[in-house]
C-alpha cells in the first residue's frame, strides 16, 4: 500500500482540525497536505451532523482505495472561544461543550445515568430527557449519546460497502472518538489532546481498557504540559487505548512532593498555559505536533505514557499500519518473569499441601475429609500442568529470542 493509500497521522490531524469548520467553509473535496502545502490525499466530504440541543458536531470524509471505502468520522471539540456570544452574556455555541466538559469530566456523570421520570400530570416534554428502550429508563441527552447515534447511522449508510472505519477528534472531540471506538473492534482511532473518557465506558469495557485490549487500535497523542489531554496533577489513570506525549511531562512524583499551596499554583498555571493563546499547549499547534513529508508525526520526542518508555515510530504505525518491531530484550525479560513465576508457584505448592493435610487431621467429618483429599489431588494436578506448560512456553519464547538475535546478526 502506497503512502497515498494509507490513513496517515496527517489525515487524522487535519480532519480533526477540519471538524471545527462550519458546513459552508468545508469544501466538497478535502485535501490532506504535506508540510510544504502539496496535496497528498483527496477525500470527499460526506455527511455532517449537528445536534443543537447538546452541541455535538461531526463531519464525515470518505474515499475509495483499491475497492475499499475508507470512512473518517471527525468529531468537533470544545469551542472555547464561543462560550458567550460576541459582546453579550448570552450563551454561545461553545457553552454546550463547556457544560458537557463539566458534566462528564469534572462531575464525572455517566453517559447513561438515569434521569428522573416525568411527574404525574406534568405538561409538555423535557427536551433534555428521553426514554432509553434498551436500558428501560429515562436518560438525559448528551454529546456522547449523540455520538453513539452518529456511528449507528454511519454503519447503516455504508452497510453495503466494504468499509474501513476511522474516527478522530481534538479535545472533547477526541474523547467522543475514543468512546465510540471502544464499542466497535473494526474502528481505528487517533486523537489529539483528548481528556480520558475511560470512566464513561460500561464496566465490561472499562475492564478491557484496563487490561490493555484497546492499545493496538485506539491512540491518543497529547502535549505533556496540557492539563486537559495529559491530565491534572499528573497523567490520567490511562486513556481508553494508548497514550503518547510529544514533550516530556512533569513528574507526578515531583508534583506530589510540593506543598499543597505550590501544587495548586503549579496546576493552575499549567491549566492557564494550556488554554491561553500562548503557549496554548491544548491546541492543535503544528509546532507541538509537527508532521513529516511522509505524512506522519515527526516529533523529536515521543513517550509512551503508559509504560514510561520512549518510542520511535509514528502513531499511525503504532496503530498497525507499519512494520512490527520485535524487541529481543522484552522477550528475554518475559522468559525470566515466566520462569520465576513458575518457580515461585512450585515452591508454594508443598506448603499448601502441608496445610491441607494438617486440616485433614483435624477433620471430624468423613465428608469433609473426602473433599480435602479431592482438592489436594486437583492442586497437585494443577501444579504439574502449570509448571510443565510455563516451562514449554518459556522455552519456546527463549528459542524465538535466540532466532531473532541470529537473524539480526546476519544483517
Residue 391, SS3 per DSSP? helix
Largest CA distance in the chain: 87
Query: Does the domain spanning 9-116+137-321 belong to CATH 3.40.50?
Result: yes
Cβ distance 246 to 224 under 8 Å? yes
Q: Phi and psi at residue 173, in whole multiples of 5°? A: -60, -35
Distance between CA atoms of residues 43 and 14, nearest Å: 12
The position carrying cell 453513539 is: 148
Instruction: Indicate the pairing of strand 129-132 with strand 137-140.
Output: antiparallel
Report, in this order, helix, strand and coil percent for the chain, each rounded to 5: 40, 20, 40
Rounded to whole angstroms, what are the CA distances from 376 to 349, 365, 379, 385? 10, 17, 5, 14
Query: What does the pLDDT read at residue 331?
Result: 61
Q: What pLDDT score does 319 carry?
A: 73
* CA separation, residue 229 to residues 98, 192, 239 (Å): 15, 8, 9
Distance CA 241, CA 177 (A): 11
C-alpha pair distances (Å), 332 with each of 326, 393, 404, 410: 11, 12, 11, 20
Q: Which cell is 213 given?
A: 485490549
Report residues of the chain scoring pLDDT below 70.
1-3, 80-94, 121-125, 318, 320-335, 342, 345, 349, 356, 359-372, 374-376, 378-386, 389-390, 394, 400-401, 403-411
List of E strands, 120-256: 129-132, 137-140, 163-170, 187-192, 218-222, 242-245
All cell numbers assigned to 393 = 512456553
Which residue's C-alpha cell is 525479560?
A: 333
Alpha helices of 276-327 — where are they, by DSSP H?
Answer: 315-316
Q: How many Å apart are CA 175 and CA 200, to the nearest integer? A: 10
Beta bridge partners of 84: 91
How far CA 378 is from CA of 196, 350, 358, 375, in Å, comes to 44, 13, 17, 5
Contact criterion met (CB below 8 Å) for 97 and 53: no
pTM (predicted TM-score): 0.74
Instruction: Provide the grid cell at 46.
Output: 460526506
Give me the residue spans of the domains in the chain: 9-116+137-321, 328-409
| Rounded Cα–Cα distance for residues 114 and 138 (Å) | 6
Can you read off the three cell numbers belonging to residue 396? Answer: 519456546
> H or E element: which one contains 304?
strand 303-304
How far apart are the C-alpha atoms of 167 and 134, rounded to whole Å? 25
- Which positions ≥6 away from 97 have C-beta within 8 Å? 55, 77, 78, 79, 80, 143, 172
Q: What is the 3-state secondary structure (H, E, C) of 323-361?
A: CCCCCHHHHHHHHHHHHHHHHHHHHHHHHHHHHHHHHHH
| Separation between Cα atoms, residue 280 and residue 32, nearest integer Å | 24
Amino acid at each position: 500500500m502506497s503512502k497515498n493509500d494509507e490513513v496517515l497521522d496527517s489525515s487524522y490531524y487535519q480532519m480533526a482540525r477540519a471538524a471545527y469548520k462550519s458546513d459552508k467553509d468545508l469544501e466538497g473535496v478535502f485535501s490532506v497536505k504535506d508540510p510544504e502545502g502539496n496535496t497528498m490525499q483527496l477525500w470527499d466530504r460526506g455527511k455532517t451532523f449537528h445536534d443543537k440541543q447538546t452541541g455535538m458536531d461531526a463531519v464525515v470524509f470518505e474515499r475509495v482505495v483499491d475497492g475499499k471505502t475508507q470512512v473518517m468520522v471527525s468529531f468537533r471539540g470544545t469551542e472555547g472561544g464561543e462560550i458567550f456570544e460576541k459582546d453579550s452574556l448570552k450563551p454561545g455555541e461553545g457553552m454546550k461543550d463547556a457544560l458537557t466538559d463539566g458534566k462528564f469530566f469534572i462531575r464525572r456523570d455517566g453517559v447513561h445515568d438515569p434521569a428522573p421520570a416525568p411527574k404525574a400530570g406534568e405538561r409538555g416534554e423535557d427536551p433534555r430527557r428521553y426514554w432509553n428502550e434498551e436500558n428501560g429508563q429515562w436518560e438525559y441527552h448528551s454529546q456522547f449519546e449523540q455520538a453513539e447515534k452518529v456511528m449507528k447511522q454511519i454503519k447503516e449508510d455504508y452497510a453495503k460497502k466494504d468499509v474501513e472505519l476511522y474516527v478522530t477528534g481534538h479535545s472533547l472531540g477526541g474523547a467522543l472518538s475514543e468512546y465510540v471506538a471502544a464499542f466497535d473492534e473494526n474502528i481505528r482511532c487517533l486523537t489529539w489532546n483528548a481528556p480520558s473518557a475511560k470512566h464513561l465506558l460500561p464496566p465490561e469495557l472499562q475492564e478491557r481498557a484496563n487490561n490493555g485490549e484497546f492499545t493496538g487500535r485506539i491512540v491518543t497523542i497529547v502535549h505533556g504540559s496540557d492539563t486537559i489531554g495529559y491530565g491534572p496533577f499528573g497523567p490520567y489513570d490511562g486513556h481508553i487505548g494508548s497514550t503518547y506525549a510529544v514533550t516530556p511531562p512533569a513528574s507526578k512524583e515531583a508534583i506530589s512532593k510540593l506543598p499543597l499551596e505550590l501544587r495548586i499554583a503549579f496546576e493552575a498555571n499549567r491549566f492557564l498555559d494550556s488554554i491561553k493563546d500562548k503557549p496554548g499547549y491544548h491546541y492543535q499547534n503544528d509546532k507541538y505536533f509537527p508532521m513529516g513529508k511522509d505524512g506522519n508525526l515527526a516529533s523529536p520526542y515521543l513517550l509512551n505514557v503508559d509504560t514510561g518508555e520512549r518510542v520511535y515510530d509514528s502513531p499511525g504505525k503504532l496503530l498497525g499500519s507499519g512494520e512490527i518491531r520485535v524487541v529481543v530484550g522484552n522477550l528475554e525479560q518475559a522468559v525470566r518473569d515466566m520462569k520465576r513465576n513458575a518457580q515461585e508457584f512450585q515452591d508454594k505448592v508443598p506448603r499448601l499441601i502441608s496445610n491441607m493435610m494438617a486440616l485433614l487431621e483435624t477433620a471430624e467429618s468423613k465428608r469433609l475429609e473426602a473433599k480435602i483429599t479431592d482438592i489436594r489431588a486437583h492442586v497437585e494436578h494443577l501444579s504439574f500442568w502449570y509448571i510443565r506448560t510455563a516451562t514449554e512456553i518459556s522455552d519456546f519464547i527463549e528459542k524465538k529470542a535466540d532466532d531473532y538475535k541470529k537473524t539480526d546478526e546476519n544483517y
